[in-house]
Amino acid sequence: MSKSKMSKVSFENTEIAFKAKSSSDLKKSYWLFKLVGNNVLVNLGPTLLKFAFFLRLPIKSIIKNTIFEQFCGGESIIECKERIQSLAKYNVQTILDYSVEGESSKENFDLTANEIIKTIELAKGDENIPFAVFKTSGLARIELLEKVSSNILLNENEKKEFGLLKDRVKFICQKAYDLDVRIFIDAEESWIQNAIDDLATSMMRKYNNEKAIVYNTLQMYRWDRVAFLKQSYADAENGNYCLGLKIVRGAYMEKERERAQELGYSSPIQKDKISCDKDYDFALAYCINHIDKISLCAGTHNEESSLNLIDLMKENNILKDDKRVYFSQLLGMSDHISFNLADKGYNVVKYMPYGPVKLVLPYLIRRVQENTSISGQTGRELSLIIKEKVRRTI
């Protein structure tokens, strides 16, 4: 990736980055990231946590006051409200992300759909919550999505089940359209993604006639996504609808590679990080060059990618607060990017995961693993916190 030359935004300013954190919050984050940097603890953590819940040990409040508080907004929408306000003070907006994973009954899929509807209702008319989001795997069984993605014929029961999934997705997107709230459909594992892409495309065709309400997600760690991006654009041109796209690198790299090797097919993942970065850059430039038709959100913690998007906006005379371009990071991570961008007037929105502590554990474990130290190095989040602690002399 080429170093950005034009952008005047710097992510070095930790005073702005941690504005929303009191000194005691900052110290708490310091200890948390220090612990998280410990490989042994992190490797043992998931097993210990499951065991502790199994034994009904009173660990919920410990988790809630530590990792949960760092990475989640609350256990319910109401609990998130304070956090939404505290971000909004600094022009950082929120996407409420109901992060319960691994449910597999019809009742739970309906409950999840209803929960997403509640997030859309809350977002209605609230400029601090410009988007809603859902994962298709929260609304249907993985095995079903896998069959549909591989074009395997469904039996009668499965056809009904798939019909129910389509109803849930339509119900959510219709609500988003009616209440004028944009909605992201997250990208997931490649073996279920064809089904998700098809659903997302049909929803965009239906609801994106005037502007992008429904957004699909593209994972640029897949080598086939540039072609898919161009095809999606051609489809939108032909179908006369707007394309909504969240551009990410992708979260399931190891799992993808392992499965491909295990089952003996060629991996859908790029050969190296440079190729992934190159396609990420390409996708941002492509979206900006087709901004009349495409609305985009760069879901990234990568500083260069964020600076690159700023430059692209400048080169194309796109205003900082143009609603067709958003930057997005996860709550509790890369505040130096989010808060510095928001301070300069760009549209920034944080994914705010929420849900009962026990049920969001898989999400929390992923965040912790992402922040584990690599060969003993101090992680980026921790370095930034240390810099701000020194600045505040605390």
Using the minimum distance from each CB to ligand FAD, give the nearer residue, 33 or 351.
351
Using the minimum distance from each CB to ligand FAD, give the nearer residue, 161 or 245.
245
Site for ligand FAD in 30-69 (CB under 6 A): none
- Smallest distance from ligand FAD to CB 272, Å: 5
Q: Strand, helix or coil at 186?
A: coil
**For ligand FAD, which stretch binds (CB under 6 A), given 84-92, 99-107, 160-168, 267-275?**
267-275
Q: Report the residue from 115, 161, 186, 311 that binds ligand FAD according to the rule CB under 6 A.
A: 186
| Beta-ladder partners of 344 | none
For tokens 């994972």, name the residue. 219
Whether residue 296 contacts residue 287, with contact meaning beta carbons closer than 8 Å, is answered with: yes
Q: Is 347 in the site for ligand FAD (CB under 6 A)?
A: no
Using the minimum distance from each CB to ligand FAD, give the nearer residue, 161 or 214.
214
Q: Report the residue from 119, 208, 216, 270 that binds ligand FAD according to the rule CB under 6 A.
A: 270
Q: Is 187 in the site for ligand FAD (CB under 6 A)?
A: yes
Instruction: List CB contacts of 273: < 8 A, sequence separation 6 or more.
Output: none
Q: What is the rounded distance in angstroms from the CA atom of residue 9 to the CA atom of residue 301?
A: 15
Using the minimum distance from each CB to ligand FAD, give the nearer residue, 144 or 187.
187
Whether residue 113 contacts residue 139, with contact meaning beta carbons closer than 8 Å, is answered with: yes
**For ligand FAD, which stretch binds (CB under 6 A), given 148-156, 165-173, 247-255, 377-385?**
247-255
What are 338's two structure tokens?
């989010």
**For ligand FAD, which stretch binds (CB under 6 A), given 38-46, 67-75, 194-202, 243-251?**
243-251
- Smallest distance from ligand FAD to CB 280, Å: 7
Cα separation values, 140 from 99, 116, 163, 166, 308, Å: 15, 14, 10, 10, 37
Using the minimum distance from each CB to ligand FAD, give the nearer residue, 185 or 242.
185
Handedness of CA 41, 38, 352, 233 (dihedral sign): negative
Q: What is the rounded distance in angstroms from the CA atom of residue 333 to the CA atom of residue 36?
A: 13
Instruction: List CB contacts of 265: < 8 A, sequence separation 6 or more.
Output: none
- Smallest distance from ligand FAD to CB 128, Å: 16
Q: Report the residue from 49, 140, 236, 248 that binds ligand FAD according to the rule CB under 6 A.
A: 248
Using the minimum distance from each CB to ligand FAD, give the nearer residue, 177 or 252.
252
Q: Report the residue from 251, 285, 359, 386 that binds ligand FAD according to the rule CB under 6 A.
A: 251
Q: Is 269 in the site for ligand FAD (CB under 6 A)?
A: yes
Q: Is 341 in the site for ligand FAD (CB under 6 A)?
A: no
Q: Report the residue from 217, 295, 338, 347 that binds ligand FAD according to the rule CB under 6 A.
A: 217
| Beta-ladder partners of 244 | 295
Q: What is the rounded distance in angstroms from the CA atom of residue 84 to the CA atom of residue 126?
A: 11
- Comparing CA positions, the residue from 254, 137, 152, 151 lying closest to residue 196 is 137
Q: Report the residue from 138, 244, 250, 268 that binds ligand FAD according to the rule CB under 6 A.
A: 250
- Comparing CA positions, the residue from 251, 349, 248, 370 lying closest to residue 300 is 248
Q: Report the residue from 221, 286, 326, 354 that binds ligand FAD according to the rule CB under 6 A.
A: 221
Q: Is 195 in the site for ligand FAD (CB under 6 A)?
A: no
Q: Which residue is nearest to ligand FAD (CB)?
A: 299
**For ligand FAD, which stretch binds (CB under 6 A), given 34-42, 57-65, 295-303, 374-382?**
295-303
Cα separation values, 173 from 116, 182, 225, 239, 305, Å: 10, 9, 24, 18, 29
Structure-derived torsion over alpha carbons of residues 188, 189, 190, 196, reported in degrees to the nearest 10: -40
- Smallest distance from ligand FAD to CB 317, Å: 26
Q: Strand, helix or coil at 172?
A: helix
Q: Report the residue from 249, 324, 336, 367 that binds ligand FAD according to the rule CB under 6 A.
A: 249
Q: How many residues bind ligand FAD (CB under 6 A)?
A: 25
Q: What is the rounded distance in angstroms from the CA atom of residue 318 to the CA atom of residue 1?
A: 22
Q: What is the rounded distance in angstroms from the CA atom of residue 228 to the CA atom of residue 107?
A: 34
Using the minimum distance from each CB to ligand FAD, give the nearer residue, 175 or 367.
367
Q: What is the rounded distance in angstroms from the CA atom of residue 107 to the CA atom of residue 96?
A: 21
Q: For binding to ligand FAD (CB under 6 A), which residues are involved?
A: 186-187, 217, 219, 221, 248-253, 269-270, 272-273, 276, 299-302, 305, 328-330, 351
